[in-house]
Amino acid sequence: QVHLEQSASGVTNPGASVKVSCETSGYTFATYPISWVRLAPGQGLEWMGWISGGDTKYAQTFQGRLTLTADTSTATVYMELKNVRSDDTATYFCARTSFSNYFDIWGRGTLVTVSS
């Protein structure tokens, strides 16, 4: 069945970069884009960006700090956030994006804690 497996949670120092992976399985990887969403403590869900093949789109909030990449050989998508701050502490989710613009399958989430 369709599954998105995310990398383990971790702690990152302020100013560093964090990279989260999302390994997909159970469907043809190239057929569906992947979106990234985060949930910060006390906040709501926030759409971060989208990747489809070699195309990417980022929310304005993350322009210049967010990079999404894909490895088609392993059907894995990566989310890298640079120069992290304490308010980047959040659970980051990858989600398969359907043709009708909804997110049908989600990863379990990766908690990133920014702390020195």
Provide the minimum distance between the beta carbon of 84 and another protein in the complex, in angstroms, as a whole number: 21
C-alpha 77/C-alpha 34 separation (Å) is 8
- Applying CB under 8 A, among 55, 72, 74, 85 the residue interacting with another protein is 55
* Per-residue x/- track, 73-102, another protein (CB under 8 A): --------------------x-x--x-xxx
How many other CB atoms are there within 10 angstroms of residue 46's CB atom? 14
The structure tokens 């998105």 sit at 4
Given CA atoms 16, 46, 23, 58 in this order, what sign does their dihedral have?
A: negative
CB 87 to another protein: min, Å: 17
Nearer to another protein, 28 or 100 (CB): 100
Radius of gyration of the chain measured on its C-alpha atoms = 13
50 binds another protein (CB under 8 A): yes
Max CA-CA distance within the chain? Answer: 42
Does 109 engage in binding with another protein (CB under 8 A)? yes
Q: Which of 57, 83, 85, 86 touches another protein by CB under 8 A?
A: 57
